[in-house]
Amino acid sequence: MVPQKLAEEAIVSSFNETEHDGKEEEKIDQSMFSVKSLLWHGGSVYDAWFSCASNQVAQVLLTLPYSFSQMGMLSGIILQIFYGFMGSWTAYLISVLYIEYRSRKEKENVSFKNHVIQWFEVLDGLLGPSWKAVGLAFNCTFLLFGSVIQLIACASNIYYVNDHLDKRTWTYIFGACCATTVFIPSFHNYRMWSFLGLGMTTYTAWYLTIAALVHGQVEGVRHSAPAKLVLYFTGATNILYTFGGHAVTVEIMHAMWKPQKFKYIYLLATLYVFTLTIPSAASVYWAFGDQLLNHANAFSLLPKNRFRDTAVILMLIHQFITFGFACTPLYFVWEKVIGMHDTKSICLRALARLPVVIPIWFLAIIFPFFGPINSAVGALLVSFTVYIIPSLAHMLTYRKASARQNAAEKPPFFLPSWAAMYVINTFVVVWVFIVGFGFGGWASVTNFVRQVDTFGLFAKCYQCKAPTAQHH
């Protein structure tokens, strides 16, 4: 079959997640010379790595200096490393549970030819309908607010390039732009976007680092953090959120030709993300210190020049990509609810997906402060979705000796004991519940309410005065 024909077939069938056996992989290899196939139809280990790394750090890159100003340099660096490894561990657990669920279903001759497996379905298959309901509620709410944050961030960032329009107006405009993600079928089709997205965040991170070092410390700079418990735990939950980007792990795995290879991809992605987040947050905090407490977006303190404008524009494009990442699982859930998930027509499914975008758009206009929202989402949603639920689900799935004996995936080589896995999972659950959900929830909700009281709902231009003054 000639490469061009293969490419055309890939475009037509891209809405249908397919199982890839050996023959299909050979066909894909043959079609690599096709430009359309090369840019559009991705399912390799490298595609998954780019998706994980690109999705993990987006707008949060600009709020981490703000977190450092709340909790101090040392705590900021230590907690990034700590939560980075903890997030990698729970992503590993999710991948193990996905493989377990899929292997059990395939033994029952269940086909996933036209069906994308999602996290709540894995929980349903392994632990029953009550777990499905819990997983669905937390995951969908997390992804909903994750999309809201990206939309708010678009408006916040473009304002630093063009302040002729207020942030609320920019939110209207970018809401319309982000609505076009309804036409991107699935995670197979993010190959080019993931690659570009990671390049954009890499540029932005190193721009922040170099610009802060070149700028030097502001006159009379103070580094008083940690000063208040509320601020400390608000910053900590923002970091918890940073490394909790795997609400889409199952969808990314399902888009792979060989999902079994996913196990350590998230860890490798996290190690790369460390090279972006730690230098940029540390250098910006070193330069501006306590000023960051009133500037959740690091762009607002850096001098306006072509390098900053380039970083802003690249982040805008990346936020569009991340919006699609967060929304695509919601699109799948909605399609399954209304019975449109098997539909082959791109236009019909795009039309069916639009009701998902509208509430996200509306919420972004109501709550235009993404720094505090990051922390609130981290404490109340990410803590359960990303850390607690996967750890508990893994322990319950393999609680019986027969389940452990017949497990599709045995414990990892660096931790070959089931007992050791239970110890780590228990630690994750207890730590995140007390520190992340308990203290973090109290701090972030307190901070969030304070922002609403200060600026009000539907704020026209949140934190605009200081950046505008710097233009003169």
Give the model confidence (pLDDT) of 258-269 as tens digits.
Answer: 888 888 888 898
- Residue 26 has a pLDDT of 41
Higher pLDDT, 472 or 79: 79
Mean pLDDT over each residue of the chain, to the nearest integer: 79
Among candidate residues 261, 248, 260, the one with its CA nearest the CA of residue 102? 260
From CA 448, how far away is CA 196, in angstroms rounded? 33
In order, the DSSP letters of 90-106 are HHHHHHHHHHHHHHHHH
From CA 52, how far away is CA 295, in angstroms rounded? 28
Give the model confidence (pLDDT) of 251-296 as tens digits.
Answer: 788 778 888 888 888 889 899 999 999 999 999 999 998 888 888 7
HSE, side-chain direction, 13 A CA sphere, residue 26: 4
Q: Is the pLDDT of residue 186 over 80?
A: no
Contact, 344 vs 15, CB < 8 A? yes
- Residue 143 has a pLDDT of 83
Q: Is the pLDDT of residue 373 over 80?
A: no
Vertex 17: Cα angle to 15 and 19 (nearest 5): 150
Segment among 320-334, 341-355, 361-375 with least mean pLDDT: 361-375
| 30-39, 183-192, 372-381, 462-471, range with greatest mean pLDDT | 372-381
Give the pLDDT band of residue 366 (cuts 50, 70, 90). confident
Give the model confidence (pLDDT) of 131-172 as tens digits.
Answer: 999 988 888 888 888 788 778 777 777 777 777 777 777 777
Start-to-end Cα distance in the chain: 63
Q: Does domain 45-107+114-455 have CATH number 3.40.50.620?
A: no
